[in-house]
Amino acid sequence: MVIACHVPLWVHGTPIFQYVGFCVARSPIPGNAKASTSGTSKESGSHVFCFICHELTTNNHPSRDSIGKNLQKLKSMVRLRHLSVLLMLCVLGVFSANSGLIAKTFESNGISYVEEDIANQTVSVTKHRNAGSKYSGLVNIPASVEYDGKTYTVVGIDNEAFRGQVELTSVVFPKTLEFIGYKAFLGASNLKTVAFSSSGVLTEIGAQAFKSCRYLSNINLPNSLKTIGEYAFEDCEALKTIKWGNSLETIGKAAFKGCGNLESDLIIPNSVKSIGELCFMNCVNIKRAAIGSSVEIIGADAFLQCTALEDVSLPESLKEIGYEAFRGCWNLPSIEIPDSVTKMGYGAFRYCVSLSDVKLGESLKEIEGWTFEQTAIRKIDIPNSVTTIGAYSFIECVDLQEVNFGLGLEAIYDSAFLGCVSITNIDLPESLKTIGSLVFAKCENLQFVTIPSSVYDISDRAFAFCPNIMGVYNLARTPQNIYNREVFYQSGIDGHVVVHVYVDLYDLYTTTIGWYDIGTDYLCGIEIVADIENASVESIVFAEDPIYCKIGEQKKPNVAIYPLNASNKELQWISSDESVLYVDMYSGDIIGLEEGEAFLTATATDGSNVSASVKVIVTDEAGIGDVMIDRPTETVIYDLYGRRLNRLQRGINIVNGKKVYVK
């Protein structure tokens, strides 16, 4: 038989459960033990007995061991789901009732308090017991209060303690304060000043603590503060200045969202590790943001629509920029992404219409969708670390003239550069495998395109509506997969695109399904011209030097092979120490085997015997070194037939691997 015991338990002034104690009818009470405060009863002539209650009522200070033994006895007697939880509640309930340790609420000088820690005599400010009571004007919360002959230390502001107190204008907090609870001052719409003790011990401001305190203008946070909770100061429309403490670590989600008058110079302290999503959204007065040297994450929408933002300084500690973090920062002209950043969420700088100068870090893995949509970027260098460019990444960047693709790029997804009307030349890297649909559509001034031999998929309308294309140089010896005939839909002069292929591949391209279909379509017509000479390899360039590899990690080194029209770009790979570094002879894939260094050598198989080597460092953890691209030190010029030239000539020239057009 279970009998409940009415014992309230309190956490930060809030009762979390009440009916917790219980007893189980089993056997007569041994010896002269009396029934506990959990109650007694008779059932079929048996006395109610609870081992735990017996222990607590016959021993003022029962040992943990004796209680534990009796818990095991009781478990063996009763089969009850969640018994362990109920037994613990029994212990708490009986112990509280037996010792008289029940949280009290009381009032002193017009302020209501509730006991926090009975043994240490601490209290927190709580709601008025009388629902109609109001605070007005200045409230000075003392460091200690006396009640019933005892002195209590004030350590907290309870959840919703001052919620909706519209006549409250000022609050002075004691240095003993440790926490401010959830919604503590929510809607105290006339609160103008809050005074924290500079030598205080406050560590946490809870979620929505000061939300919608519309007249709060200045806050000086103590050095002890570690956490600002979610929405803590949201919509504090008059808030102008924040003096940050030097121990702050976390600024929660939307903590200062909608603080439209926040100071123009925002300096996040070096102690902060994360800036929550929506944190400074719609803070339209911020002009400069200096992010502290320990920040690792800037959350999604953190600076969304900070329309006055002109300067952002990002630290080398930063690892992740959340999606749409700086979306709609109209006046931001430039941004430098540190090498430490590995992830930028989609739309991170979307609609930053003044953003013209961008430097991407060398550890970035992916440019996600919409990242730079409708920005004013003029030139972008894609790092070798980037493997994918997401859909719509640079859509309608109408000022973009030059794109330098990194040697690690494998896929460009749908509409990535759609509407980039200022691009005139596209040289795709040898690492690229997939070109999505509409990737370069409506690039109205695009004239020349080089498609490397590595590409095997070209999706529909990839180069559609590009009326000024003068030539496409397709360096693939095996025709790519074409999913429909509209790859060059309404492109080229008079809807006609000239595709250049190797001299010995005319028949292959004109009879391959897909390419043949394009050639017969009026609106998507192409002409295959087999005029690219078969050239030999002259140089091999590694994208990284040195290469870092973890033990057990598999990766593929990225290389560039010059000239671009080298007809056979197959390489053979060798490791100088196969106990440290394994390499697949044909694919070039490497695997770190043990800590150490080895040289990786790639050799052309076209008979030229050209080779290049790079140091590979195998470690327990992947290191980040200086990533370098070994460009040719001399100017090397070829024509489109692979013949080396002494000087530039009229028409298209290949200069150090890039096409140059001379009128």
Cα–Cα distance for residue pair 532/566, rounded to 1 Å: 10
Cβ-Cβ contacts under 8 Å for 316 (sequence gap 6 or more): 293, 338, 339, 340
Tell me: pLDDT of 37 over 60: no
At 234 the pLDDT is 96
Give the number of other Cβ atoms within 10 Å of residue 608's Cβ.
15
Q: Assign 288 a pLDDT band (cuts: 50, 70, 90).
A: very high
383, two tokens: 């790092």
Give the pLDDT mean for 205-214: 96
Query: Is the Cα torsion angle 505, 507, 512, 515 positive or negative in sign?
Result: positive
Give the pLDDT mean for 268-294: 96
Give the number of other Cβ atoms within 10 Å of residue 15's Cβ.
11
Tell me: pLDDT of 653 over 80: no
Q: Which has more confidence, 32 or 408?
A: 408
Q: How far is CA 605 from CA 290, 538, 558, 570, 572, in A?
A: 52, 12, 17, 6, 7
Give the pLDDT mean for 354-370: 96
Instruction: Give kind and range of the element (H or E) at residue 74.
Output: helix 64-77
Give the pLDDT mean for 229-237: 96
Percentage of the residues of the chain whose pLDDT score is greater than 70: 77
Q: Assign 76 a pLDDT band (cuts: 50, 70, 90).
A: very low
Tell me: pLDDT of 663 over 70: no
| Segment 330-339, tens digit of pLDDT | 999 999 999 9
Bond preceding residue 269 cis, omega within 30 of 0: no
| Segment 97-123, tens digit of pLDDT | 434 456 789 999 999 999 988 889 999
| Segment 45-63, tens digit of pLDDT | 333 334 444 444 333 334 3
Tell me: pLDDT of 42 over 90: no
Question: pTM to 2 decimals?
Answer: 0.75
Q: Tell me which amino acid residue 525 is.
A: G
| Segment 591-609, tens digit of pLDDT | 999 999 999 999 999 899 9
Give the pLDDT mean for 432-460: 94
Q: How far is CA 603 from CA 295, 445, 536, 597, 610, in A?
A: 44, 39, 12, 20, 6
The pairing of beta strand 554-555 with beta strand 343-344: unpaired
Please spell the DSSP secondary structure of 216-246, one letter per residue.
--EEE--TT--EE-TTTTTT-TT--EEE--S
At 566 the pLDDT is 87
| Segment 462-508, tens digit of pLDDT | 999 999 999 999 999 889 888 777 889 889 887 788 999 999 999 99
At 517 the pLDDT is 65
The pairing of beta strand 105-108 with beta strand 111-117: antiparallel
Q: Assign 643 a pLDDT band (cuts: 50, 70, 90).
A: low
Give the pLDDT mean for 346-361: 97
Phi, psi of 458 (to 5 degrees): -125, 120
Cβ-Cβ contacts under 8 Å for 542 (sequence gap 6 or more): 557, 558, 559, 602, 612, 614, 630
Q: Assign 180 a pLDDT band (cuts: 50, 70, 90).
A: very high
Least confident of 63-77, 130-144, 419-433, 582-596: 63-77
* 40, 47 contact by CB (below 8 A): yes
Q: Assign 403 a pLDDT band (cuts: 50, 70, 90).
A: very high
Give the pLDDT mean for 246-251: 95
At 89 the pLDDT is 46
